[in-house]
Amino acid sequence: MSSAAAVKAVAIDAPSKVQVMVAALVEVTKDIFSTMVARSVEFGEPSFTGPQPTANVVATVGFAGTLSGYVSLCVSKEAAFEIAQALLGSSADEAHEHVRDAAGEMANMIAGSVRTAMTEKGEQLGISTPIVTVGTDFSTAALRDVSQAIVPFKMGPHSLFVYLVLQGRK
Amino acid sequence: MRVLVVDDSSTMRRIIVNTLKKLGHEDTVEAGDGKEALRALAAGVPDVIVTDWNMPEMNGPQFVEAVRSQPALAKTPVLMVTTQAAKEDVIVALQAGVNDYLIKPFTPDALKEKINSLTRKP
């Protein structure tokens, strides 16, 4: 193979930034759920098109730098409660008080750990503090010129998602 | 032993405080950001400070620099608990005056080991 052909082959085969970040997201999310929540999670196939999954609790952390966008952890109220209770190892009453904050902290750990993984690949990123939206019948959407990935996973009976949006075609 | 726990997440503060209590450290003070923590420090010097990095108002390294600028707090052990784990981050934290570093996610045993190490008498 000529050097020009080799360069072209590498360019075609090289994973996109979104794919690289999805691989990091899967690894760090498994680790965070295992270490902090004592739950194993099973990941499904990511999709790179379609709307953000609907969820009752959406915890979002933005990032900016050589890449910019955001990561959202999207879960049901029931899953958010189970996560809060497992994180705290506490009573139901205390867990109810912490449902929003616990979801935000999980998103913060996911985004922060992905930031570290991407920093080790040469990116320079800063992350925001988390924003948590709780409710029913709402949706959020990135506007235009973005790349995205929806990464589904299961925690026991609960279906959860990590939603990644990158500005630009990455 | 008194421990000041600084984190904008009330959940993470609760996790850390609960772990400290299991270690027998019942005397804890909590702050939601660096500015609130500096006000708490004005009221009394703790034996150990445990702080997050990614916080509003004043981030972890900025808070630790402010701590180290006060002579009374120059030698107070500081543990940073954070997801910011790149080599460059660790250097920034150490230059700010952090004594030790714990990467989230962490186990209770890992926090216990770090606290014991910081408070161990020579």
- For chain B, the residue count is 122
pLDDT the model gives residue A128: 94
> Does some domain include residue A10?
no
> Does some domain include residue A3?
no
Inter-chain touch B55–A129, beta carbons under 8 Å: yes
Residue A7 has pLDDT above 70, yes or no: no
Question: Can you give A75-86 as a three-state secondary structure string?
Answer: ECHHHHHHHHHH
> Does some domain include residue A5?
no
Average pLDDT over all residues of chain B: 94
A150 confidence band (pLDDT: 50, 70, 90) = very high
The stretches of B3-119 forming alpha helices (DSSP H) are: 10-22, 34-43, 60-68, 87-96, 108-119
Residue B78 has pLDDT above 80, yes or no: yes
A11 confidence band (pLDDT: 50, 70, 90) = very low
Average pLDDT over all residues of chain A: 89
> Does some domain include residue A11?
no
Each residue's pLDDT tens digit, A36-84: 999 999 999 999 988 778 899 999 999 999 999 999 999 999 999 999 9
The domains of chain B, with CATH numbers, are 2-114 (3.40.50.2300)
Å from B76 to nearest chain A CA?
Answer: 27
**Strand order across the beta sheet in which B100-103 lies:** B27-31, B2-6, B48-51, B78-82, B100-103
> Does some domain include residue A46?
yes
Of B8, B11, B104, the CB nearest to A112: B104
* A133 at interface of B, judged by CB pairs closer than 8 A: no
Å from A36 to nearest chain B CA?
Answer: 6
Rounded to 5 degrees, what are φ and ψ at B78?
Answer: -125, 125
Q: Residue A91 belongs to a domain with what CATH number?
A: 3.40.1550.10
Q: Which domain holds residue A112?
A: 16-167
Distance linking the first and last C-alpha atoms of chain A:
27
Residues of B in contact with A112 (CB under 8 A): 54, 82-84, 104
* Dist CA A62 CA A64 (whole Å): 7
Of A35, A90, A111, the CB nearest to B105: A35
Q: What residue type is assigned to position A47 of the chain?
A: S
Residue B39 has pLDDT above 50, yes or no: yes
Of residues B49 and A137, the one with the higher pLDDT is B49
Residues of A in contact with B14 (CB under 8 A): 88, 90, 94, 98
ipTM: 0.88
- Kindly list the distances between the CA atom of residue B35 and the CA atoms of A126, B30, B64, B107, in Å, as whole numbers in the listed order: 21, 12, 11, 28
The first and second tokens of residue B31, run together, are 């702050």
Residues of A in contact with B15 (CB under 8 A): 36, 87-88
> Does some domain include residue A9?
no
What's the rounded mean pLDDT across residues A137-141? 78
pLDDT the model gives residue B119: 85
> Does some domain include residue A1?
no
pLDDT the model gives residue A4: 54
> Does some domain include residue A55?
yes
A89 confidence band (pLDDT: 50, 70, 90) = confident
Residue A10 has pLDDT above 50, yes or no: no
Question: Domain total for chain A?
Answer: 1
Q: What is the pTM (predicted TM-score) of this model?
A: 0.89
The first and second tokens of residue B9, run together, are 């997440």
* Dist CA B44 CA A98 (whole Å): 29
Each residue's pLDDT tens digit, B101-111: 999 999 989 99
What's the rounded mean pLDDT across residues A22-49? 95
- Report the percent of chain B where pLDDT is more than 90: 84
Residue A156 has pLDDT above 80, yes or no: yes
